[in-house]
């Protein structure tokens, strides 16, 4: 092993808190492990989830260098090492829609030929450098359409462009700004386990700590009683800053019912907690299977309340429209005017260059909702194919040598686990080590479930839709 983590780091955390001082690196040797904690110089707090995930990424880089540099390695049955198969990242597909691709090419030509007269809104004015109107209109139509009547029991809302804010580069950058808007000293973010792999880092960057709500691995749904308990606990302590969800889920696409979403809505209204829903993977599942919390109405204190007025929903054009590089943007929508005004101020810098607006516009303007449906069908087909491959392996090596974790009808990801017997024989004692094992022994770059707030689940996440090898995205991968 290239690392050794204590089986339980809770006692070690208590010891480290006594020792840790801002701006210092703390080295500690104990009976269970020798390890280094990187204590933030300006937060001075220890977040175990972020720290161990950071160490895992460093270890991954070291392993990759070793296996890339040793050409004598053999993988499989005397096969030459073909290169690391990157199933770690969330790349959704090989190509954007043909119409969008041609539009992006034309937009790039406009930029190269200095056709500034094309960088204009429908009224003839130049693109604004902060929240350009054309991108807000397109985001409302092509990214937040999922809030408009997604289910027979959910009338939802047709999001007006005035409720939308846009920001350069990505949905992740938008979430960072949203978390910064609610940050407070020793603040806590509550989130159902199974969240985005970098959420612990985003929380840490905002000076916050993320606390995972336990989930049922069979359904992927959170424990609602535990949700209520933690909301009450951290509200009473005065440290609760935010309730953060991902719909559709990553890596597990969870099908919450309307009644369950209403229960969540009533809970966040009761405790008056700012609520954020990351909807970046909206094209992973049909809208009626991954109903957005903001689209739901709840009965609260004798009134009918639309959750859009209390929730910030974030998205971007990287997963659905398949934008990449300089054409990527992030976006959010909310009916909470006060919160939106605060966010507009935070998101006013850096500005969106007019060239970026022009390319991002091309990715959204010519992308159709039918394209999203085809992408979703493709993901479902890959899930079926992956399950068939697992069934073949189990038939060859023994029943349930490999198992699928959680629901996997939709999504570009699949979570898998090895049997307890295999893990025991291999000496694998946690999911970080399982991740290292697949990379070092099979050349497969995956994501440990510890990144998702499930450090007690020995499983990894794989991108079953579009893994990359040696810089190429090929279907054979």
pLDDT of 449-470, one tens digit each?
A: 989 988 788 899 999 888 888 8
The β-bridge relationship of strands 187-192 and 208-213 is parallel
Q: How many other CB atoms are found less than 10 A from the CB of residue 266?
A: 17
> Is residue 113 scored above 90 in pLDDT?
yes
> Is residue 156 scored above 80 in pLDDT?
yes
pLDDT grade for 103, boundaries at 50, 70 and 90: very high
Greater model confidence, 56 or 272: 272
Helix (H) or strand (E) holding 344, with range, is helix 337-346
Judge contact between 431 and 450, C-beta under 8 A. yes
pLDDT grade for 34, boundaries at 50, 70 and 90: very low
> Is residue 437 scored above 50 in pLDDT?
yes
Q: Which residues does 117 contact at the CB level (< 8 Å), separation at least 6?
A: none
Euclidean distance between CA atoms 173 and 278, whole angstroms: 12
> Is residue 430 scored above 90 in pLDDT?
no
What are the phi and psi torsion angles at 294 (to 5°)?
-65, -20
To the nearest whole percent, how much of the chain has pLDDT over 70? Answer: 87
Greater model confidence, 251 or 34: 251
> Is residue 92 scored above 80 in pLDDT?
no
The DSSP line for 175-187 is HHHHHHHH--TTE
Helix (H) or strand (E) holding 286, with range, is none
Q: What is the pLDDT of residue 397?
A: 87
Q: Give bridge partners of residue 408 from the DSSP assignment.
A: none
> Is residue 153 scored above 60 in pLDDT?
yes
Q: How many other CB atoms are found less than 10 A from the CB of residue 249?
A: 29
- Per-range mean pLDDT, top range of 242-256, 301-315, 444-458: 301-315
> Is residue 274 scored above 90 in pLDDT?
yes
Judge contact between 300 and 269, C-beta under 8 A. yes
Judge contact between 293 and 151, C-beta under 8 A. no
Q: What is the pLDDT of residue 79?
A: 63
Euclidean distance between the first and final Cα of the chain, in Å? 28
Greater model confidence, 191 or 9: 191
Flag the least confident range among 63-67, 217-221, 358-362, 378-382.
63-67
**In the chain, how long is the greatest CA-to-CA distance?**
71
Greater model confidence, 116 or 1: 116
pLDDT 10s digits, 356-405: 999 999 999 999 999 999 999 999 999 999 999 999 999 998 878 999 99
pLDDT grade for 325, boundaries at 50, 70 and 90: confident
Q: What is the pLDDT of residue 441?
A: 83
Judge contact between 209 and 47, C-beta under 8 A. yes
Euclidean distance between CA atoms 247 and 279, whole angstroms: 5
pLDDT grade for 68, boundaries at 50, 70 and 90: confident
Q: How many other CB atoms are found less than 10 A from the CB of residue 148?
A: 17
To the nearest whole percent, how much of the chain has pLDDT over 90? Answer: 60
């Amino acid at each position: 092993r290239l690392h050794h983590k204590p089986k339980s780091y809770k006692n070690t955390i208590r010891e480290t808190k006594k020792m840790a001082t801002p701006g210092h690196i703390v080295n500690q040797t104990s009976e269970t492990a020798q390890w280094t904690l990187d204590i933030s110089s300006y937060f001075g707090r220890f977040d175990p989830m972020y720290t161990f995930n950071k160490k895992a990424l460093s270890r991954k880089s070291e392993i990759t260098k070793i296996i890339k540099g040793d050409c004598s390695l053999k993988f499989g049955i005397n096969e030459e090492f073909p290169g690391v198969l990157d199933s770690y990242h969330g790349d959704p597909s090989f190509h954007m829609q043909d119409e969008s691709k041609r539009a992006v090419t034309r937009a790039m030509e406009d930029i190269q030929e200095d056709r500034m007269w094309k960088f204009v809104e429908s009224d003839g004015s130049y693109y604004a450098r902060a929240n350009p109107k054309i991108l807000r209109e397109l985001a409302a139509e092509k990214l937040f359409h999922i809030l408009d009547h997604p289910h027979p029991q959910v009338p939802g809302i047709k999001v007006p462009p005035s409720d939308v804010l846009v920001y350069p580069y990505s949905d992740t950058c938008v979430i960072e700004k949203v978390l910064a808007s609610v940050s407070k000293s020793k603040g806590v973010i509550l989130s159902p386990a199974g969240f985005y792999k970098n959420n612990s880092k985003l929380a840490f960057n905002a000076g916050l700590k993320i606390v995972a709500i336990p989930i049922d691995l069979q359904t992927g749904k959170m424990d609602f009683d535990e949700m209520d308990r933690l909301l009450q606990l951290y509200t009473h302590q005065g440290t609760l800053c935010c309730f953060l969800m991902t719909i559709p889920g990553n890596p597990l696409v969870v099908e919450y019912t309307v009644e369950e979403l209403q229960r969540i809505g009533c809970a966040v209204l009761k405790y008056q907690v700012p609520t954020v829903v990351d909807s970046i993977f909206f094209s992973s599942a049909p809208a009626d299977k991954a109903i957005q919390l903001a689209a739901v109405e709840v009965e609260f204190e004798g009134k009918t309340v639309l959750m859009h007025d209390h929730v910030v929903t974030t998205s971007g054009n990287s997963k659905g429209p398949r934008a990449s590089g300089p054409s990527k943007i992030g976006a959010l929508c909310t009916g909470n005017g006060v919160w939106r005004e605060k966010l507009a101020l935070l998101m006013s810098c850096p500005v969106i260059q007019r060239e970026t607006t022009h390319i991002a516009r091309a990715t959204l303007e010519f992308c159709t909702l039918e394209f999203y449906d085809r992408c979703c069908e493709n993901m479902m087909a890959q899930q079926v194919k992956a399950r068939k491959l697992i069934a073949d392996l189990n038939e060859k090596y023994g029943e349930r040598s490999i198992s699928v974790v959680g629901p996997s009808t939709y999504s570009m990801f699949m979570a898998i686990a090895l049997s307890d017997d295999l893990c025991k024989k291999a000496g694998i004692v946690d999911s970080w080590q399982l991740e290292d094992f697949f990379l070092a022994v099979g050349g497969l770059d995956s994501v440990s479930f510890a990144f998702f707030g499930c450090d007690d689940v020995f499983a990894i996440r794989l991108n079953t839709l579009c893994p990359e090898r040696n810089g190429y995205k090929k279907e054979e991968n």
